[in-house]
Amino acid sequence: MAVIQISRIQHRRGLQSDLPNLASAELGWSVDTRKLYIGNGTTEEGAPSLGRTEILTQYSILDFESQYTANIAVLQSNVVVLTGNIVSLESRVTALEGATTDETHVALSAGVVTAQTITNTSANNAVITYTMSQGSAQRTGTIRVARVTSDVSYEEDYTETGATDIVFSMNANVTHTNLNYTSSTAANLTYRINSL
């Protein structure tokens, strides 16, 4: 009669902190964290690095959950910062709207070769929005003005329904900035100055 012997395969086990480096393909069980590892083997065998690789279990996924929770907390704090920025921008827009003066209507003369002053502002930074009609042509635009002492820089953006010959220019002194124009044809101008 044959003798039947049943063998038991046992893997390394122990506390996570006591688990040794594992041999190639050797399994190791961490009894306190319930994580399963397999030995990487040596670099001569083709392993990318020495040590062990965790085999995912249901307990490994719980660790991922804590990482996701941390990432969610970071994203939520970013949302709070963005919300604060939106509130700040809204308050700035409200302030700009509050700083708006009423519209002013001016008739621009024809044949103006030397720059004539239309208006001036004492603001260091301003936006002048305007609508102008010259004959059947309409022009709508914005002039952004920045002044430091007597140096002024400005940028004009506009659209026209037809050609107009109005040319705006700016000059400044220490206390204010002048909006000037030249034109060969009369025009009507409506403008608003928003101090920034």
pLDDT at 184 over 80: yes
**Residues 122-174: tens digit of each pLDDT:** 888 889 999 999 989 999 999 999 888 888 889 999 999 998 888 999 988 88
**Residues 3-19: tens digit of each pLDDT:** 888 888 888 999 989 88
Distance CA 60, CA 51 (A): 18
pTM passes above 0.85: no
pLDDT at 44: 87
Which residue type sits at 161?
Answer: T
Cβ neighbours of residue 17 closer than 8 Å, sequence gap 6 or more:
none
Stretch 103-124: mean pLDDT, rounded? 87
pLDDT at 96: 64
- The CATH-assigned architecture of domain 104-195 is Sandwich (2.60)
Higher pLDDT, 92 or 125: 125
Q: Which residues pair with 108 in a beta bridge?
A: 187
pLDDT at 29: 93
**Residues 44-89: tens digit of each pLDDT:** 888 888 888 888 887 776 556 677 778 888 888 888 888 888 888 8
Phi, psi of 44 (to 5 degrees): -65, -30
Distances (CA, A) of 26 to 14, 60, 63: 14, 19, 23
Q: Domain locations in the chain?
A: 12-73, 104-195
pLDDT at 100 over 60: no
